[in-house]
Every structure is written in structure tokens, then in C-alpha cells.
Amino acid sequence: MTEIYRDRSPVKVGHYKSILEEQGIKVFVRNDVLSAMEAPIPVFFPALCVMNDEDHDRAIKILQDIIQKEKAEIYNPDITCPKCKEENPATFETCWSCSSDIK
């Protein structure tokens, strides 16, 4: 059993937990009960742990991918289409309006 992620927000930890479970990785949240008291001390933050150590590397990899993707979504502003000036989400490769290449 190894801790792979820790955050103040039980919602965030729960979110990553369900993603890893979907990937077939057995995980559990430590300190889940304590977090209900919103302890301000990091050691009591809910911690996501893998049950089987052999899943550790894969779990870390999946988490890193998700966190990176989420950051990209937060920091990438919308792209304005150079042709029709419509706003497109940063994840789009072609304009939803006129199908121009916006990457």
C-alpha cells in the first residue's frame, strides 16, 4: 500500500480515485473520515493510496496525465478563429463554426 496523491479537497481526491478505479486499479482514501472535520494540517488531508504496490507506477502515470490535462484546460484560453473570429475551446483543432484549422 502506497500513497500516491494527497489534497485538501476530498472531492478532488475522490475524483482521482474514481478515475483510477475505472482503470482497474484498486485504491482507497486514507483519512477520509478526518477530512470531514476539514483539518488544516496536511498530514490529515485525504490521501489516495494504491492497494497493490505493482499498480503504483501505472497509477502515478495516469494521475500525472490527468493533472497535466486539467492544468492545460485551465490555463489554455479559448482560441479565436483567425478566419471567422469565433471563440473555440483550447482543445479544439478545427473551428466549430467554419472548420478552419486553428492549431
List interacting residues with Zn ion (CB under 5 A). 81, 83-84, 86, 95, 97-98, 100
- Tell the smallest beta-carbon distance from residue 76 to Zn ion (Å): 17
Burial class (CB in 10 A: 0-12, 13-18, 19+), 12: middle
- Tell the smallest beta-carbon distance from residue 85 to Zn ion (Å): 7
Distance, in Å, from the CA atom of 7 to the CA atom of 82, rounded to the nearest integer, reads 40
- 42 or 82: CB nearest Zn ion: 82
- 13 or 81: CB nearest Zn ion: 81
Question: Which stretch of DSSP H or E encloses residue 17?
Answer: helix 10-22
- 21 or 87: CB nearest Zn ion: 87
Question: Which stretch of DSSP H or E encloses residue 64?
Answer: helix 56-75
- Tell the smallest beta-carbon distance from residue 83 to Zn ion (Å): 5
Strand partners, 95: none
